[in-house]
Amino acid sequence: MTAAPKLNPTYLYFHGGPGLSSFPDQALMKHLCGEFHVEYWNEPSNLRPQVADHFEVDQAFRNWMASAENFVLKQWMKETGPIYLVAHSFSCLPILQIAKRHETKINGVLLISPILDLARTFRRAIRWAQIDLAKSKSPVVREVEDHLKASKEPFDPAMIQALEYALADGEMLLHYWKNRETMESWQSVLVSDARAGVDLRAWKAVLEDLYWEHSYLRVEPLSVPVSIIAGMDDHFSDRPQIEEFLRLNPHCRYESWAGCGHFPHLEDAEEFGRSLYGLYRM
């Protein structure tokens, strides 16, 4: 792999979610150690009090945003070199808002499989669950369908209930990954690392708060260098939303990687390392 930049830039990594942590990703990104200075953020969670901000149900998404923004500001205050924001999946749109507010403090942004229309993507996850649950003849498939039909607005109670029932889909992870071996390695960390478990309480609270907050999240032009990487076999990142982002940010570099799903940075570790270095060189 290409040697790390001499000026020792810092990459701030924001995991996908909600309800997740950075620990499974960290376990699969060990190749970066010694080559790049990566600091990992973890969303507010009472399951991980030693590494994450305290979780509050009230205004959960606002607190999620505040935690991520404070992480950026704290790192900016203590670092002397360039700072780059690296966001995956659900985190991309909120991190873009933070990047816009603090463009003078950061040097660039790398978006991995960006979800730029949150409601549309979560509805797609529900529909994948419907297909899987119907194949397995699950008794909850009707509940998912009824609540999805009853949903009238993004992240309203009916949509949240449909998502809760969709959690019964034991095949859902397969839609996020192209490489099953990598998926199983990532999944094993969820089970073996006590810090890495899915926080379903936080997951639900953040989604419920998005009912009030999602309309404020929008794609805007940035003055700093931006790169996007996505997997060719990603079922969740929407090309039309990415194209809109590219229209607003014509300087953005976009790459689509073969043999990858929604986690291209973990499924092609070597290429991800080159992307981090490439962001610094932009």
Using the predicted structure, report yes or no on whether residue 2 has a pLDDT greater than 90: no
Using the predicted structure, report yes or no on whether residue 93 has a pLDDT greater than 70: yes
Residue 124 CB partners (closer than 8 Å, separation 6+): 235, 236
Question: pLDDT value at position 30?
Answer: 86
- For residue range 225-239, what is the model confidence (pLDDT) as tens digits? 999 999 999 999 888
Is the Cα torsion angle 31, 36, 37, 41 positive or negative in sign? negative
Cα torsion at 101, 41, 264, 222 (round to 10°)? Answer: 10
Mean pLDDT of the chain: 93
Q: How far apart are CA 249 and CA 217, in angstroms?
A: 17
- For residue range 143-186, what is the model confidence (pLDDT) as tens digits? 999 999 999 999 999 999 999 999 889 999 999 999 999 999 99
Using the predicted structure, report yes or no on whether residue 6 has a pLDDT greater than 70: no
Using the predicted structure, report yes or no on whether residue 220 has a pLDDT greater than 50: yes
Q: Once rounded to an integer, what is the mean pLDDT over residues 245-263?
A: 96
Using the predicted structure, report yes or no on whether residue 208 has a pLDDT greater than 70: yes
Question: CB–CB of 135/174 below 8 Å?
Answer: no
For the chain, which residues make up each domain, given as ranges? 10-281
Q: What is the pTM of this model?
A: 0.94
Question: pLDDT value at position 281?
Answer: 77
Using the predicted structure, report yes or no on whether residue 5 has a pLDDT greater than 70: no
According to the CATH classification, is domain 10-281 in 3.40.50.300? Answer: no
Question: pLDDT value at position 7?
Answer: 63
Q: Once rounded to an integer, what is the mean pLDDT over residues 47-56?
A: 91
First to last CA, the chain: 18
Using the predicted structure, report yes or no on whether residue 246 has a pLDDT greater than 70: yes
Using the predicted structure, report yes or no on whether residue 195 has a pLDDT greater than 60: yes
